[in-house]
Structure formats: C-alpha cells, structure tokens
Structure 1
Amino acid sequence: MLSEDLSRIARMHGVEFGHMPTVPQTVEDVYYPQFDAAVRAEAAAMAKHYEVFYSLEKSIRELVAQTIEAAEKREDWWASTRVPSNIQADVASRIQKELDAGVTRRSLDELDYTTFGELSVIIAANWDIFGGLFNSKKAVEKVMASLNALRNPIAHCSPLAEDEELRLQLTVRDWFRLME
C-alpha cells in the first residue's frame, strides 16, 4: 500500500522517488535525442511522404495480385507467364539474399519483393487484363515512371524539394484518375 501511495504522489507531482524498479529505456529513447534537431525535424516532415508512398505501393501490389488472381482463377499465379521471367529471377535472387543474411523474410509473397518499376512492367505486360481498369496504357507507364522517380528520395532518406512535394501530390492524384 505504501508503494501504491508513493506512486500516486509521484505521478501527481511529476517526481520519481526511486521506490520502484526502473523500466529500461528503448534504443529510441536513448539515441534518438542525440541526432541533430534539424535532422529529426526533416525526418518528421518526410514521414508523411513515406506514409503516402507506402500506402500507394501496397495498394498497387494488392491491385496487381487481385487482378492476376482473377484472370488466372488461382492464387499461385506468380510462376505463370503473367510475370516476366527476368522479374521472377530477380525476385528469387532477392529472397535468397535475404535468407543468406539470416534475417526474417519480409514476406512469403513474392510480389512483395518486386520493385516499383517491376510492378509497372507487370501491369504493362498484362495489359489484356489491366486495360479494363485504366483508361490509358501510356498514361499508366508515365505515372508509374514519375512515381518511381519520386520514390527514390523518399526511400533513400533525402528530403523532397517543395516542387517535388507538389509533384508527389499531383502524381498520386493522377494515379487514381487513371482508374476513373
């Protein structure tokens, strides 16, 4: 009861009496404050762009998977002729590299190992099934190329220039407009 009373008083007054074992601090708590404030502010500003791109890329992967699964009428479509053999080989190499590194696989789905550019190639190579979803193959290729260029600074920890922030917003709008 004494310990609970001390804890309540400590919370009320914002003090620490040292009567309870301390909770070990996380790496973030210990090391993050040591980064320069300007770098932390830049990271916070870039986080919103990463979140947009993460969501977009995941949704495009889902669209690709669902569209090909529906066309092939099977879930194990990856090894089909729908995915160019060079992309299958590159993905197999990335998976093996991850396994050889001894880290946890990021996914059991091969599509999660494709690059953004490879997603564009898969869509273009299967225009017979994607053409009904989009209004122009050339526009899809153009928007995907633009998104791929915008992805690089986001994925490689470089700030987006003000014009590129605007370009990202417009290009995301363009992506969704392609499906109208």
Structure 2
Amino acid sequence: MSDHTVELFLLKCAVIETGLRATLAEYDTGQPNGLSQADDEQLEPFIKQFDLANRKNAAHMSRYYEIFYLLENDIRRLIVETMEAAHGAKWWDTRVPPGVLEEVRKNREREAQAAVSVRSEDDIDYTTFGQLGDIIRANWSDFAGMLSNQSAVSRVMAALNMLRGTIAHCGVLAEDEVDRLKLAIRDWFRVLEGPKN
C-alpha cells in the first residue's frame, strides 16, 4: 500500500468523522440528566445528601419521564396542527369541550395567583393528558382519517393516563408496568398508522 493511498484513506476518514460529529451534535440534547454542567456542579452537593435508594430510583425513572414528556407534547402538537388545519387559528375557542376550557382557565388562574413564571402562552399546554383525549374524541371527525379508530384511541389514552400518574408524581414503575408502558407506546404508534381498510 503506497503512502498516497494511506493518506487518501485518512482524509476520507476525517471527512466522514467530521460529518458524523456534525450530525450527532445536531441531535444531541445535552447531558443525559438534562442539566448544564454548571447547574449540575451547583446541585451536586445537595443531590448527594438525598437517600441513595431515591437517587437510584430517580435515575431509573428519568428515562420514562423523558418518554412521556415527548409523547404528551407530540400529542399536543398533533392536536394543534390537525385542529388549525380543519378550523383555523381560533379553533380553541369553538372546538374544545366546555369542561376542558373551564379547567384550563382555572389552571391559568392558579398559576397567575402563585406569581410564578408563565408556563406557556398556549392554552393546550395547560391541559392534562386525559383532556387531550377529550379534545380528540370531541372532534373525532377531524382525526378519523389519521387515527385508527375511536375505541382504540380511548383505550390507549386511558392506559397511558394510568401509567402517567406514577411517572408524573415521582413514583417508581414496577417491571410489569414498564412492560405495560412499552406496549401502550407501541399501541399509540399503531393508532397513528390510521384506519385499516
């Protein structure tokens, strides 16, 4: 093998490595725990004071929280895009069930009275997971062409909502519940495949 061939090979590898690093950087969401290094260093002395079993459970459950965060916000995006396409920008005022509107109003009011930072400018971000299902069911004609069927959506949303409670309220999922979560997420993506003819 000549020096020229080796040099050419190394140059090609360098180009590939540069492209790979750029692609990985594009999809990198930061450190595994989501904290910047500065935040992590500031919090570490406090975190070390917590019970070791709780720290292990928190690390174990963080992945399930992340999955649920992604899922719930993806469902919100699906609803917003679908409803805006079907009913325009003012869909929230005319197409959301009254009970959901009232609960969102109360949630916003509680947040304003607590003098905390505003969570979001979008009303849908104040809905619970169950209320997202209510919006879909109340507007089924807008979702019928993209989601498999209404009973499947209701079943999957109910299963996910049950599991969400443990995740969102700092519980630990038992192994069979982890299996249930995996199945429910797979079921959701089957629902997204649309109606079967």
- Bin of the TM-score, shorter chain as denominator length: 0.7 to 0.9
Answering whether residue 70 of structure 2 is matched by residue 66 of structure 1, we say no
Count of residue pairs the alignment pairs up: 156
TM-score where L is the length of structure 2: 0.76
Q: How does 1:113-152 map to 2 (within 5 A)?
A: 113-152=126-165
1:35 alignment counterpart:
50
CA distance in 1, matches of 2:108, 2:39: 35
Same amino acid, percent of matched pairs: 47
After TM superposition, give the deviation of residue 25 of structure 1 in Å.
8.8
1:56 to 43, 62, 71: 71
After TM superposition, give the deviation of residue 26 of structure 1 in Å.
5.5
Amino acid of the structure 1 residue aligned with 2:157: M
- DSSP 3-state at the match of 2:93: coil
After TM superposition, give the deviation of residue 29 of structure 1 in Å.
2.1
1:76 to 82, 85, 90: 90
After TM superposition, give the deviation of residue 42 of structure 1 in Å.
0.6
After TM superposition, give the deviation of residue 27 of structure 1 in Å.
4.7
CA distance in 2, matches of 1:30, 1:75: 47
After TM superposition, give the deviation of residue 135 of structure 1 in Å.
1.4
Q: Structure 2 regions of 5+ residues with no counterpart?
A: 1-37
- DSSP 3-state at the match of 1:78: helix
Q: Structure 1 regions of 5+ residues with no counterpart?
A: 1-22
Higher helix share: 2
After TM superposition, give the deviation of residue 24 of structure 1 in Å.
10
CA distance in 1, matches of 2:103, 2:191: 28
TM-score where L is the length of structure 1: 0.83
CA distance in 1, matches of 2:140, 2:150: 7
